[in-house]
Amino acid sequence: MFTASIVIPCYNEEKTLRQTVGRVREIASDTLQLELLIVDDCSQDGSLGIARELENEFTEVRSFHHKVNQGKGAALRTGFRQATGDVVAVQDADLEYDPHDLRQLIQLIQDDKADVALGSRFLTGGAHRVIYFWHSVGNRFLTFLSNMMTDLNLSDMETCYKVFRTEVLQDIEIQENRFGFEPEIVAKVSRKNVRIFEMGISYSGRTYDEGKKIGMKDGFRAIYCILRYNVGHLPLGMKVFLLGILGSAGGIVALAVYLSRFLIN
């Protein structure tokens, strides 16, 4: 029996956690067994209680708890250490992503077509909620910058839906505690001799009023992580090229700041 360990990081998701687990459980079949690993990252609402209830109700569910809030990356690190399946997948607890898409990503590895499968919100897929133009611009920019470093042609580096053959993760140490996990794991996987596939998925993004947590500072952290986990492994020519681009960008920013002060005065 092929088993998928699905790690569900959770922070203050009492409204959606039970429904998320229910929808993930629906993808189990005669050929796919599930192990659901809920990692509560010191939630301040009733999430931990719900996670423990689900653990008691369903044999495939296990729950873990951080006594101090550390971030999504730390929660995933905890879940990855506990995973025992043939593949390890990430499922957020907020229902922005459809687990039936996750099933198709798992199938790519189950059929031995891929070693890593990523869901893309920017390739043709299911329905997409129309929301936050500048978030989509930011995501595309971060993906472009990541691709420059990794020499991959991904369309959505920041996607939640990432599925890995378990042995791919065995010698990867996740260092980022928050959303920097995404560029970090892509950087580290890109240096492995593995087959990476991407597939269009549906997406129902939340507003900040509905509980969305990622913000502008996470975008700047993502840029830092792209540089941190890639630059040291680039060929010398690429490093020189990158320094030239960053120097030019810095000069443009400095000039803009100077001119803005001059015009204001």
**Do 20 and 87 have their domain in common?**
yes
The pTM score is 0.84
pLDDT at 265: 45
pLDDT at 213: 55
Decide: helix, strand or coil at residue 30. coil
Mean pLDDT per 10-residue interval, the chain, length 265 residues = 97 97 98 98 98 98 98 96 98 93 98 98 71 72 94 95 96 92 97 96 68 67 93 70 63 56 50
CA distances from 24 to 38, 60, 172 (A): 12, 11, 26
Question: Which tokens hold the place of 8?
Answer: 């569900």
**Do 113 and 158 have their domain in common?**
yes
CATH for 209: 3.90.550.10
**Do 170 and 252 have their domain in common?**
no
Domain with 214, as residue range(s), is 2-234
CA distances from 133 to 79, 98, 108, 139, 247 (A): 32, 21, 31, 10, 28
**Do 45 and 58 have their domain in common?**
yes
pLDDT at 219: 78
**Do 265 and 165 have their domain in common?**
no
Check if the beta carbon of residue 128 is closer than 8 Å to that of residue 202.
yes
**Do 248 and 197 have their domain in common?**
no
**Do 160 and 35 have their domain in common?**
yes
pLDDT at 31: 97
**Do 119 and 250 have their domain in common?**
no
**Do 202 and 73 have their domain in common?**
yes
**Do 29 and 146 have their domain in common?**
yes
Q: How many domains does the chain have?
A: 2
pLDDT at 3: 98
